[in-house]
Structure 1
């Protein structure tokens, strides 16, 4: 009886020790999946990669979105159909990945003719993205961006006041108005 009881007690321990170890998640692969999901405008895949909420940091600005609230920003960005390219990727100590990313779409192309290139750090917690931080702009033509954006704002105010305010409206409707403003401006200026 003692042997049977001892066997019954030790069997779960033996079976548990024979189970394969959980494979460690490759954070580089997760970072690449995140960029791929951005390129495919795949909201469910993007959200599934995040831990509990979406934390975005850009130099000195910091924003935390619930997964549901992030949807508005996602929709706004997706309207512009940006293409993200990973130029470099490397693991850092402390569950982090550093990326150099190029981003180009119709809005960015209109405002500065070239992609924005950033250095970003993805921090992970429990094998999920905890935070996305833009730590440096490697290429951003601020002078051209500001001048073209201001010219567009002024032209829209004078010629299409129904679109006025598009620049501050980070919703799907705001993004559609932004694209319409660019289209009308380019047509009026033979671009």
Structure 2
């Protein structure tokens, strides 16, 4: 009888270890490391079935399939993410993130540092809301973006709309527009 109880106890311990959920800070760290290393399957492990990204007035709802499209858009710009700080706030995490990529470099704000609020449902990331940016030169950002958009409208209308097209095609068009801008006479 003692052996049976001991075996059942050990089985219970092993099962509980295998079913442990990662904490919110670990989920956030996994999310950004997976973006950084290009491992979408790891991202899928920590995001909920629906995820909403909020950036200013833009609210972008995704399911796991459409989130993959956003992930591919982001990956075209060869991003590098660093989690600078994580602060748990009830069921949310406030994270300070540093993001380097080709687009931010073109817009003369590389790295881009920001604070985000990450919300969870059933232990999975369900919402990422940009709170504020740290030391971003919005004048330079806007001037570079506006010059790029104007140049494209006049000289390469086939690429027009790239700024708000968050698909892989939109990202490829964005890269092409930046290259054309940098190589203009």
Indicate the TM-score class for this superposition, using the shorter chain for normalisation. Answer: 0.7 to 0.9
Structure 1, unpaired ranges of 5+: 1-6
Q: Is the CA contact (8 Å cut-off) linking 1:88 and 1:99 kept in structure 2? A: yes
In the alignment of these two chains, the number of paired residues is 178
User: Using a 3 Å threshold, how does the CA distance of structure 1 residues 149 and 59 change in structure 2: closer, same or farther?
Assistant: closer
- 1:159 and 2:152 are equivalent in the alignment: no
Structure 2, unpaired ranges of 5+: none
Q: Is the CA contact (8 Å cut-off) linking 2:105 and 2:111 kept in structure 1? A: yes
Q: Displacement of 1:17 after TM fit?
A: 9.8
Q: Displacement of 1:118 after TM fit?
A: 1.0
Determine the C-alpha separation between the residues in 2 that align with 1:17 and 1:113. 54
User: Using a 3 Å threshold, how does the CA distance of structure 1 residues 153 and 42 change in structure 2: closer, same or farther?
Assistant: same
Q: Displacement of 1:59 after TM fit?
A: 4.3
Q: Displacement of 1:129 after TM fit?
A: 1.4
Instruction: Tell me the equivalent position of 1:36.
Output: 33
- 1:19 and 2:15 are equivalent in the alignment: no
Task: Say which is worse superposed, 21-30 or 163-172, in terms of deviation.
Answer: 21-30
Instruction: Tell me the equivalent position of 1:4.
Output: none
* Alignment root-mean-square deviation, CA: 2.4
Determine the C-alpha separation between the residues in 1 that align with 2:161 and 2:33. 31
Q: Is the CA contact (8 Å cut-off) linking 1:59 and 1:136 kept in structure 2? A: no
Instruction: Tell me the equivalent position of 2:113.
Output: 117
Instruction: Tell me the equivalent position of 2:43.
Output: 46
Instruction: Tell me the equivalent position of 1:131.
Output: 127
- 1:187 and 2:180 are equivalent in the alignment: no
Q: Indicate which of 153, 165, 175 corresponds to 2:171.
A: 175
- 1:57 and 2:54 are equivalent in the alignment: yes
User: Using a 3 Å threshold, how does the CA distance of structure 1 residues 136 and 156 change in structure 2: closer, same or farther?
Assistant: same
TM-score, with normalisation over the residues of structure 2?
0.83
Q: SS where residue 147 of structure 2 aligns?
A: helix
Instruction: Tell me the equivalent position of 1:3.
Output: none
Q: SS where residue 112 of structure 1 aligns?
A: coil
Q: Indicate which of 86, 96, 102 corresponds to 1:100.
A: 96
TM-score, with normalisation over the residues of structure 1?
0.81
